[in-house]
């Protein structure tokens, strides 16, 4: 997911509407591929020839989705690369937590609701937002919020945060996602038999045939590891469905040779 945002930035554009709805997984042999969609609010942030950055401005109307908007966007500051990445952080916490503290706030008008979301977001320390989750998520937010308007983010540093977490948590790089197991339970039933299942005609995605794009594969934890988050999310209401930690860090951690658009 960081790769996708980085690629847009390399091409001179901001997405400006980073949210779960705008990330999709591929099908078939591309089922391990992450795609970023919906460029209706995208904006060029620099001239591709001169590389001159757009000027800093204030008193801008909120562009994007308030739930995932950066603090500076709420404050009316012109968006830049830092804001796409901060928004991605809120997406990750939504995936992990199942909801965000500023959801469900009631207000009479859209502006009043945006103001309430902004206030709640600014009053919620990242340490509280990320409580009970790995400290890498706190580091991610602190880094994004420390960037100045024209700063080029260190995407490699952010990906390395989650790559190291992936390794430390003992995840296996095996292309098996939570949703893969829900659809094809036989794949996740016994890790020792997966190889034979994939060659014995069992219906389902062939992990060996999937395009090897390291940035897109999910990992399963080694049997000795313990998982803080419950994987039994299929029974929860849609609004509170959360992804397990392994899905998040695997989608963030590894570089990809292929860009999904």
Which of 17, 21, 151, 203 is the catalytic position? 17
Residues in contact with 186: Cβ distance below 8 Å, sequence separation at least 6, in sequence order: 197, 202, 204
Query: Which structure tokens are listed for 22?
Result: 């705008």
The two counts, helices (H) then strands (E), for the chain are 11, 6
**Known catalytic membership, residue 17:** yes
Where do the H-state alpha helices sit in 11-75? 71-74
Q: Which two tokens stand for residue 254?
A: 């590894």
Q: Which stretches within the chain are classed as H helix?
A: 2-10, 71-74, 81-97, 110-123, 126-129, 135-146, 155-168, 178-183, 185-189, 194-198, 245-253
The candidate with the shortest Cα–Cα distance to 87, out of 149, 127, 144, 150, is 144
What residues are annotated to the active site?
17
């Amino acid at each position: 997911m960081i790769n996708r945002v980085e690629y847009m930035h390399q091409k001179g554009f901001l997405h400006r509407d980073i949210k779960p709805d705008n990330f999709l997984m591929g099908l078939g042999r591309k089922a391990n591929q992450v795609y970023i969609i919906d460029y209706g609010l995208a904006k060029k942030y620099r001239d591709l020839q001169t590389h001159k950055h757009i000027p800093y401005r204030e008193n801008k109307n909120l562009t994007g989705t308030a739930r995932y908007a950066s603090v500076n966007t709420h404050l009316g500051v012109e968006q830049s690369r830092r804001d796409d990445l901060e928004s991605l952080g809120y997406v990750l916490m939504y995936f992990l937590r199942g909801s965000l503290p500023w959801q469900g706030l009631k207000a009479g008008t859209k502006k009043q609701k945006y103001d309430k979301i902004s206030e709640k977001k600014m009053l919620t320390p990242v340490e509280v937002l990320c409580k009970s989750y790995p400290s890498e998520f706190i580091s991610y937010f602190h880094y994004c919020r420390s960037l100045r308007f024209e700063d080029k983010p260190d995407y490699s540093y952010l990906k390395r945060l989650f790559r190291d977490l992936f390794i430390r948590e003992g995840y296996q790089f095996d292309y098996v996602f939570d949703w893969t197991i829900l659809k094809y339970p036989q794949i996740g039933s016994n890790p020792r038999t997966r190889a034979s299942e994939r060659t014995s005609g069992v219906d389902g995605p062939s992990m060996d045939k999937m395009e090897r794009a390291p940035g897109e594969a999910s990992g399963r934890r080694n049997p000795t590891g313990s998982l803080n988050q419950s994987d039994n999310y299929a029974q929860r209401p849609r609004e509170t469905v959360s992804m397990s930690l392994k899905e998040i860090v695997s989608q963030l951690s590894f570089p990809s040779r292929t860009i999904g658009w």
